[in-house]
């Protein structure tokens, strides 16, 4: 059942659920902040840890634990901001810890989420033994201040009573249905722009070290004076996205460096785990040693899987929720809002949401200025304080449909959706000045294919997508004027169409190259022609028989590929049109394919690929849209 949250959920559940949980807190109390405690892990490594305790607090407190690779004093990177004070004034202790190998914590960051499972467990054990602890811990954070929580949950420490792993899709590995290894890949293609930036600026393997045998007072003095945060070459990128038309941005030329495995080296950056990851494949068995959530993941910790439609890891988080839902794991909730990566933590900005060229208006949770704060506080109060506040009765799935509002359901996928096939068709000119490409629910009748040249030395530049700022939704018209970008569009919609769910694209393709890529975007076309991207996906042809093997293409053969990573919830309004965009590059969001059939990551020369997209009765290329009834 799907129903309007503003009419049913808000009226029936909200008042009981939260009561005065948020409003009764009053002003922020005095609190103590003890910095740079060293907490020892089972292997002797000590992790830099801060403890914040509210004044006039009860003798025993529940604890909010934030483990992070970011600088504990820099809210731009940490994503907590005023949240520490919020939890303090609601009667929680707050513990902030630098992850292994980051900042003043000992050890090395040789792999993503280094030590997350064991270190999370040992930290929970330490917290539970503290004299101020009531033995209940809730983990909190956004992005990489959240991603360690999945490994920690798998360790199943009895004190780990609840978790808020916000926008943590990059921690979702090879659970069933997910082949992206934590958003490292889309269809086997490395997401170059995001991970080159993130590892270069945030997660290096090489790093400066504290002097040996420092004491707490010395560490505090050093922290007040020095920063171990790497110098950021990417900080000037507007909204952390690549847009070479912006004067302050890092130039697109920064990413044109070949081979692609040396992108961070060319910037002069320190060694990082990404230097090896870009040489792996999605099926490489070495991924099994990375502390992501993996096949067979089990947990008993209640969780809110919260993300936004323009987050690069939203698909991964939804698949994690479905995986736990299918295993009948209790206490799991899916909440997807409308904003960019982690921007919902600034609730004031949710009243008038703008994401690049997209204006959404009011996207507050439940239409409330403190909606997310009340949700998080109510969830922790239930599981860490034992309050009977009704939150267990809230709907399992809550989604903000862009241009429509909040809806809820009891399961994912939404039970009332209809899967509708829209077929690609054209007179062979979907990429030409004529732009004859159409999307239709009728099978194509002609015998045409759209043929274009993909030159890796002149790739289609990224417009929107990627991570992690506000400019995720961008007008596509400039790149759609290119001959190597195909567009297929419905007629103007007489009635609105609501798409909500996972989207599958099935393409029948061929190429004169031995290997190449195909890219897709789902687009909302406005009456004035503005074309706003909703999500994107890609597929590297060598992986069409599985991500654990490389099978090259044969000239003249037509292959079926399935692109399954797009997900959204959008109301296409009357007068709008639905469009599928197809090309072979989206650079630098995706690593470009040099089309040789070689390793790609260690090559410096490419070849032009002549690629064909087929749409006939025998080769019915199509997109499957999950459509909700009005």
> What local confidence, expressed as pLDDT, does residue 463 receive?
94
> What local confidence, expressed as pLDDT, does residue 148 receive?
95
CB-CB contact of 61 with 132 (8 Å): yes
Angstrom distance (rounded) from CA 525 to CA 531:
4
Q: For the chain, which residues make up each domain, given as ranges?
A: 3-188+281-409, 190-280, 418-628
Residue 132 or residue 250, greater confidence: 132
Tokens in use for 66? 């934030």
In the numeric block, the tokens 């899987």 are attached to 305
Share of the chain above pLDDT 90, in %: 76
Q: Measured over all CA atoms, what is the biggest interatomic distance in the chain, rounded to whole angstroms?
A: 77
> What local confidence, expressed as pLDDT, does residue 581 receive?
97
> What local confidence, expressed as pLDDT, does residue 336 receive?
97
The one-character DSSP state at 617 is S
Q: How many CB atoms lie within 10 A of CB 630?
A: 8
Report the first-to-last Cα separation within the chain, whole angstroms.
Answer: 13
Which segment of 216-225, 226-235, 374-383 scores lowest on mean pLDDT? 226-235
> What local confidence, expressed as pLDDT, does residue 115 receive?
93
Report the chain's mean pLDDT, rounded to a whole number.
89
> What local confidence, expressed as pLDDT, does residue 82 receive?
81
Share of the chain above pLDDT 70, in %: 90
Q: Does the pLDDT value for residue 571 go beyond 60?
A: yes
In 197-215, which positions are buried (b, 16+ CB within 10 angstroms) versus exposed (e)? bbbbbbbbbeeeebeeeee
Packing angle of the helix pair 116-128, 148-155 (nearest 10 deg):
70
> What local confidence, expressed as pLDDT, does residue 27 receive?
52
pLDDT mean over 312-328: 97
pLDDT tens digit sequence for 64-83: 999 999 888 764 444 555 88
pLDDT mean over 102-124: 95
Q: What is the DSSP string of 363-401?
A: --GGG-TTHHHHHHHHHHHHHHS----SGGGS-SEEEEE
Angstrom distance (rounded) from CA 116 to CA 153:
10
Q: What is the DSSP string of 252-287?
A: GGGG--SSGGGHHHHTTPPP-THHHHTTS-TT-GGG
pLDDT mean over 49-74: 89
Angstrom distance (rounded) from CA 432 to CA 453:
12
Residues 6+ apart with CB under 8 A from 276: none
pLDDT mean over 259-286: 91
Fold of 3-188+281-409: Rossmann fold (3.40.50)
Fold of 418-628: Jelly Rolls (2.60.120)
Residues 6+ apart with CB under 8 A from 480: 487, 531, 581
pLDDT tens digit sequence for 199-213: 988 889 998 888 889
> What local confidence, expressed as pLDDT, does residue 48 receive?
96
Prediction pTM value = 0.92
Give the gyration radius of the chain's Cα atoms: 24
Q: How confident is the model at residue 239 (pLDDT cuts 50, 70, 90)?
A: very low
Q: How confident is the model at residue 29 (pLDDT cuts 50, 70, 90)?
A: low
Q: How confident is the model at residue 515 (pLDDT cuts 50, 70, 90)?
A: very high
pLDDT mean over 228-250: 45
pLDDT mean over 605-611: 97
Q: How confident is the model at residue 248 (pLDDT cuts 50, 70, 90)?
A: very low
Q: How confident is the model at residue 488 (pLDDT cuts 50, 70, 90)?
A: very high
- Residues making up the chain, counted from first to last: 630
């Amino acid at each position: 059942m799907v129903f309007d949250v503003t009419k049913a959920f808000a009226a029936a559940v909200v008042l009981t659920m939260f009561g005065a949980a948020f409003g009764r807190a009053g002003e922020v109390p005095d609190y103590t902040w003890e910095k740079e405690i060293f907490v020892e892990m089972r292997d002797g490594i000590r992790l830099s840890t801060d403890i914040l305790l509210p004044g006039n607090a009860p003798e025993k407190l529940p604890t909010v634990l934030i483990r992070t690779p970011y600088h504990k004093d820099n809210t731009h990177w940490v994503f907590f901001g005023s949240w520490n004070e919020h939890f303090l004034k609601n009667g929680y202790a707050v513990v902030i810890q630098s992850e292994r190998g980051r900042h003043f914590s000992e050890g090395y960051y040789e792999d993503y989420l280094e030590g997350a499972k064991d270190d999370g467990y040992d930290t929970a054990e330490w917290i539970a033994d503290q004299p101020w602890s009531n033995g209940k811990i809730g983990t909190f954070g956004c992005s990489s201040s959240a991603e360690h929580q999945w490994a920690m949950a798998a360790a199943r420490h009895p004190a780990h009573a609840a978790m808020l792993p916000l926008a943590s899709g990059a921690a979702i590995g090879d659970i069933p249905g997910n082949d992206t290894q934590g958003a490292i890949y889309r269809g086997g293609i490395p997401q170059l722009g995001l991970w080159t930036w993130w590892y270069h600026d945030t997660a290096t393997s090489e790093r400066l070290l504290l002097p040996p045998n420092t004491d707490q007072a010395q560490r505090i003095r050093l922290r007040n004076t020095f920063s171990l945060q790497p110098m950021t070459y990417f900080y000037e990128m507007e909204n952390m996205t690549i847009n070479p038309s912006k004067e302050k941005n890092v130039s697109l030329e920064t990413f044109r460096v070949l081979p692609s495995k040396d992108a961070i080296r060319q910037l002069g950056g320190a060694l990082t785990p990404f230097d090896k990851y870009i040489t792996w494949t999605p099926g490489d068995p070495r991924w099994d040693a990375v502390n992501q959530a993996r096949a067979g993941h089990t947990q008993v910790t209640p969780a809110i899987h919260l993300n936004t439609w323009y987050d690069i890891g939203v698909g991964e988080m939804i698949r994690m929720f479905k995986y736990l839902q299918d295993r009948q794991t209790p206490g799991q909730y899916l909440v997807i809002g409308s904003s960019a990566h982690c921007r919902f933590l600034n609730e004031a900005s949710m009243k008038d949401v703008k994401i690049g060229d997209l204006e959404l208006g009011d996207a507050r949770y439940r239409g409330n200025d403190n909606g997310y704060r009340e949700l998080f506080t109510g969830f922790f109060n239930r599981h860490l304080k034992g309050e009977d506040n009704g939150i267990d009765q809230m709907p399992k799935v809550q989604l903000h449909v862009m241009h429509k509002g909040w809806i809820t359901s009891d399961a994912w996928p939404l039970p009332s959706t209809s899967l509708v096939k829209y077929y690609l068709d054209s007179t062979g000119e979907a990429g030409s000045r004529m732009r004859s490409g159409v999307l239709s629910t009728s099978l194509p009748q002609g015998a045409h294919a759209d043929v274009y040249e993909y030159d890796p030395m002149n790739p289609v530049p990224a417009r929107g997508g990627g991570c992690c700022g506000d400019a995720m939704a961008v007008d596509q018209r400039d790149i759609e004027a290119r001959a190597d970008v195909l567009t297929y569009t419905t007629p103007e919609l007489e009635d609105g169409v609501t798409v909500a769910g996972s989207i599958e694209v099935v393409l029948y393709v061929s190429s004169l190259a031995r290997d190449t890529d195909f890219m897709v975007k789902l687009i909302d076309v406005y009456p004035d022609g503005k074309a706003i991207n909703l999500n994107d996906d890609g597929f590297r042809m060598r992986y069409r028989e599985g991500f654990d093997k490389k099978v090259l293409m044969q000239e003249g053969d037509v292959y079926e590929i399935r692109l399954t990573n797009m997900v959204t919830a959008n109301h296409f309004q009357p007068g709008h049109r639905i469009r599928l965009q197809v090309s072979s590059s989206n650079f630098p969001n995706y690593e470009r394919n040099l089309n040789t059939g070689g390793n790609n990551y260690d090559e410096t020369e490419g070849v032009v690929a002549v690629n064909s997209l087929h749409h006939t009765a025998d080769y019915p290329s199509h997109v499957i849209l999950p459509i909700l009834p009005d």
